[in-house]
Amino acid sequence: MRPTGHTAIDAAPQVVAEWINLLCDDLEWDEKGRAYLLLSETLQAIRDYLGVDEAADLAAQLPLIIRGIYYTGWDPSKTPVRPRNKADFLKRVSEKFRKRPLENPEAAVVAVFDLLRRKVSMGEIEQVSNAMRGPLRELWR
């Protein structure tokens, strides 16, 4: 792909690769496809657990392609989902790992939350975590 001269567009593939590599490092995984699946499923679960305004606020801080992953398949009329508890969140993320289930879904989700804390403003992370229910909020450590 030829450079466009627009930094966000030109750097977008490298940003996705960086996020996936960081997630692989954090989880000690060598399967980038698996890390991508975890990232996308966790981002979309977060999005669906938030109200529309808070979901959009978080999206505004995500890099271009990560934002596209976040918004994929979104139906704002069905958010926030009910119930919104920790067990349902972990189950939703885990369901996509049918061939090789996650050994520790909570640790995997926490790794994505930690990645977001490194890449998104602390103020936004506080708003997102405060919008979550108690036990799920605790995963944002």
Q: What confidence tens digit (pLDDT) does each residue in 90-131 have?
A: 999 999 999 999 999 999 999 999 999 999 999 999 999 999
Listed in sequence order, the residues at least 6 apart from 24 whose beta carbon sits closer than 8 Å to its beta carbon are: 30, 31, 32, 35
What is the per-residue pLDDT for 141? 77
**What's the gap between Cα 9 and its chain centre?**
20
Where exactly are the structural domains of the chain? 7-140
Q: What confidence tens digit (pLDDT) does each residue in 21-71 have?
A: 999 999 999 999 999 999 999 999 999 999 999 999 999 999 999 999 999
Superfamily of domain 7-140: Uncharacterized conserved protein DUF2267 (1.10.490.110)
Q: Which of 78, 107, 82 is nearest to 94 (CA)?
A: 107
Whole-model pTM? 0.93
